[in-house]
A and B are shown apart, each in its own frame.
Chain A
Amino acid sequence: MRTTGVIPSRPKRRLWFGPGIGRLNYRHKQRLFIYGGLLIPLIYFVVIRILPILYSFNVSFREWGMLSPDKPFVGFDNYVTLLSDPLFLKSLVNTGIYVVVGVPAQLIAGLIVALLLQQVVKLRGLFRTAYFIPYVTSVVAVSWIFRWLLMKNGIVNALFIELGLGPQSFLYSPSQAIFWIIAVMVWQNIGFQMLIFLAGLQNIPKLYYEAAAIDGATGWQRFVHITIPLLNPVMLLSVVMASIGFLQSFTQVLNMTGGGPLDSTISVVLHIYNLAFKSFDMGLASAATVILFVIIFILTLVQLKVLGSRFQQE
């Protein structure tokens, strides 16, 4: 086994238990440091992050009421119940809308801001700061700010009326509400997306653009053939992270609409929350988390495979 650095390993190993700790050889002391330092974090990760996953699977196969002392094993009953529950299916469809609309919107908005920021020299720092501020603020507070902005006699409606678009019901409209929630989520994450893209753009050598310009490539051609392909690895990471984020939509939904109107905004996580902490049906709720976990897992793998292979080809 190799150790870091220049000290050659000693030819003869001493016994682990042999001499007192002060006379342990250098390698043993290092081992002690490594495993000693990792001990608490490892136990923590196994107990707090790994075992609960297994426990979740276990609970999902049982009828688990909070009050009854026995939790009988019921096999896949919870899964069957869930998949025939129209509200759960509705929440799955809605979560699909959150992902399919939200992820591209967030990426495109972030990319546009990053590209615009590249065009300007003065005030760049100011713009970057301003666009990033929403990302560091509390999602709960932001949800309530937008409820206030989007209410019936709120400022946005006043603006709509002024522009001749007529009054809107925004979060109280079953057809619009989900898109307003997505808009708020995108608004809050633009700054993060922008930073990731800015860092990616800075890694593209200026030389490529100059060469393309000499060959007569238009701005659009340069964007399609240089910027986009070279941003691909960054894009891949962003798509995966944004998808996971939108699949877990919860805080905004709970605070802005509570899942309504007419369940038009309810997400899978909000449904899980209601099952577990409103009806206290832990078995059903755990089954729903397992389904969500599987969806996230498969989607991430597919994205890594599809987008990743495209990146390899470029």
Chain B
Amino acid sequence: MSRSAAWAETRTMLRWKRSGSLISYALLTLGLGVMVFPFLWMISTSFKMLDEIYSLSLIPSRVTWDNYAAIFQGTPFPRWMLNSLYVAVIATVSVCVFDSITGYILAKFTFWGKQVIFVLILSTLMVPTEMLIIPWYLVSSSFNGMDTYWGILFPGLISGFGIFLMKQFMESLPSELLDAARIDGMGEWGIFLRIAVPLVRPAFATLCILTFLGSWNSFIWPLIITQSEEMFTIPVGMAFFSSEAKDSSNWVQIMTGATLSVLPLIVLFLCFQKQIIRGIATTGLK
């Protein structure tokens, strides 16, 4: 191949590559619109006056906070948000405590029954929640667990997924370090709390956020266990409130409620996206 021909080929390849990435940018931008627009439309609707909700402009001609005032004063939405927050915080703390201990022990010790325990925990991930819900419900109703925080909470206090995640991270701890502490006479709990835990702090961040998100968004169990409006979590309240809404003007309120249930999560995600993305990549691949 002559030199100029080779040069020409390189040039066409470069041009092809550049146009290729141009097409990529165009397609990605289009997709970005599809991903983001529903949220923008939701927020926009929540700021519209009633007479404007069917207008097709993204920016309302008159911005109003009335919908938010109405939802805070006239509906139990604030209570639902507090319920969700309370449940999510307790679930997160409990999951972090128990899953980290279990993950650490499964990752760093050899003992009788270890394989059985690990397989047992992993196999619970395969069981559909629907199968557990009816027994949970029957037991809760005979133990006065209906409509209580404990009732909402108990299925989420320890998570098999979290144990798996923590085990992955704990395995990367150098055993020599733990043994060095043992030789120095540190107790096992001391080693766990003062050496292992601080070293896997990023894993804790991932686990905390994923548990919090999961709890805040969980729907089917809170829907079944809660009965009175004051005990609803935000997804249950959202579904109840929206399906109760009869006339179409309520779309403004529904979108205001949707904004309130979605926006805190988007903000949380934007703050911690590095941990979330790493956590998913880690568990997804191993």
Chain A interface residues (CB < 8 Å from chain B): 1-7, 26, 29-31, 33-35, 37-38, 40-42, 44-45, 48-53, 55-56, 59, 113, 116-117, 119-121, 123, 127-134, 136-142, 144-146, 148-149, 153, 155, 158, 187, 190-192, 195-196, 198-200, 203, 234, 237, 244, 247-248, 250-251, 254-255, 269, 272-273, 276-277, 282, 285-286, 289-290, 292-293, 296-297, 300
Contact = CB atoms under 8 A, between A and B. Distances in A.
Contact of B281 (A33, A42, A195): A195
Contacts of A123: 25
Contacts of A117: 28
A144 B130 contact: no
Interface residues of B, number: 95
B209 to A, nearest CB: 9
Interface stretch (B68-76, B197-205, B263-271): B263-271
Contacts of B239: 140, 144, 254-255
A140 B255 contact: no
Scoring A35, A37, A140, A203 by chain B CB atoms within 10 A of each residue's CB, the highest score goes to A140
10 contacts: A6-B176, A38-B101, A45-B121, A127-B31, A131-B31, A146-B38, A187-B35, A237-B285, A269-B128, A296-B128
B74 to A, nearest CB: 18
B110 to A, nearest CB: 5
Contacts of B179: 4-7
Contact of A4 (B178, B219, B224, B266): B178
B155 A119 contact: no
Contact of A119 (B20, B128, B187, B266): B20
Given A148-B45, A276-B134, A136 B31 contact: no
Contact of A38 (B31, B102, B130): B102
Contacts of A290: 131
B135 A55 contact: yes
Given A138-B219, A191-B35, 9 more contacts: A30-B188, A52-B135, A113-B28, A127-B32, A133-B269, A138-B217, A141-B238, A155-B41, A251-B220
B34 interface: yes
Contact of B277 (A26, A132, A277, A297): A132
Contact of A292 (B35, B130, B276): B130
A41 B266 contact: no
Scoring B101, B111, B254 by chain A CB atoms within 10 A of each residue's CB, the highest score goes to B111
B25 A38 contact: no
B86 interface: no
B285 A196 contact: yes
B6 interface: no
A125 to B, nearest CB: 9
Interface in B67-104: 98-99, 101-102, 104
Contacts of A41: 98-99, 101-102, 121, 158, 163
B215 to A, nearest CB: 11
